[in-house]
Amino acid sequence: MEFEQIIEQPFSDPALLQTALTHSSYANQHKNMEYNEKLEFLGDAVLQLAITEYIYRNFPQKTEGELTKLRALIVCEASLHQVAMDWNLGSYIRMSKGEELTGGRERAALLADGVEAVIAAVYLDQGMETAKKFVVKSFMEIIDMADRNEIVLDYKTSLQEILQENGEIDIRYELIRYEGPPHRRKFYSKVVIDSITMGKGEGFSKKESEQLAAKDALGKYVKAEDTHE
């Protein structure tokens, strides 16, 4: 199966992976078909244990509180969504046409659940040790970023905090345009700082487009700061 090559994890029982990649909307259209909801439940527990054990062993200098905060950054919807994007998971999940038309293949929560389901499938197929190695490999970049405090879950708040360190600055978000049918509408936004457009973003919701506009502005701000140093 092509997806096994992408995640670099072969399966002895491909049916487990197929179930992990099956959304309830698809199963509801096919009688007696299993879907990934229960695997998500199991995968969440496997993920928590794998990450907890890894950071416990590899960050001995951190306190319990620091480890708890680190784990929260690593095991969250935003991080799971990033792993899903790395895997191109949305292209492989089986879902109903209706779910697909309403943006299911890009929906963060759906993709995050899918990652947990895949983790559970690896655990059931290969056992805990292989599952733990699979989790660490898949999340290593996120673990490193979390340790360096480089994970940003709310770009708008981060941008505001950075720019207003030295006083009040006018920051506003404007919708440039939107396009597409109601069930698949794409939004384009910009962030304007003191009357200057500093970033642009696009997404399948106004909120997402604003967050990505803020991310764009943050990237430009960091580059400008590096240039001035």
CA distance 149 to 46: 24
Q: Are residues 139 and 199 in the same domain?
A: no
- Strand ranges for the chain from DSSP E: 171-179, 186-193, 196-203
Say yes or no: 17 and 65 in one domain: yes
Does 80 lie in the same domain as 183? no
Helices 128-147 and 77-87: angle between axes, nearest 10 degrees: 110
Residues 183 and 95 in one domain: no
Q: Nearest 5°: phi and psi at 33?
A: -95, 135
Q: What are the pLDDT digits (tens) for 47-76?
A: 999 999 999 999 999 999 889 988 988 898
Q: Does 40 carry a binding-site annotation?
A: yes
Q: Is the pLDDT of residue 151 over 80?
A: no
What's the mean pLDDT when you consider all of the chain? 88
CATH of the domain at 92: 1.10.1520.10
Task: Give 12's contacts (C-beta < 8 A, 6+ positions apart).
Answer: 125, 126
Count up the domains in the chain and report the number: 2
Cα 87 to Cα 35, 44, 101, 105, 126: the distances in Å are 19, 18, 21, 13, 20
pLDDT confidence of residue 107:
83
- Show the domain range for 29: 2-147
- pLDDT for 109 equals 83
Q: 175 and 140, same structural domain? A: no
Residue 138: what pLDDT?
Answer: 96
Which range, 6-10, 64-68, 192-196, 209-213, has the best average confidence (pLDDT)? Answer: 6-10
* 181 and 218 co-located in one domain: yes
Segment 78-88 mean pLDDT? 87
Q: Look at the block and give the residue holding tokens 């030295």.
A: 166
Is 44 catalytic? The answer is yes
**Pair 131, 161 in one domain:** no
- 120 shares a domain with 16: yes
Residue 74 sits in the same domain as residue 123: yes
Q: Is 194 annotated as a binding residue?
A: no
- Least confident span in 42-46, 137-141, 179-183: 179-183
Residues 132 and 25 in one domain: yes
Q: Range with the lowest mean pLDDT among 93-102, 109-118, 206-215?
A: 206-215
Same domain, 123 and 173: no
If one compares 116 and 148, the residue with the highest pLDDT of the two is 116
Catalytic residue among 99, 100, 116, 125: 116
Domain boundary among 98, 122, 147: 147
Question: Cα(119)–Cα(125) distance, rounded to whole angstroms?
Answer: 10
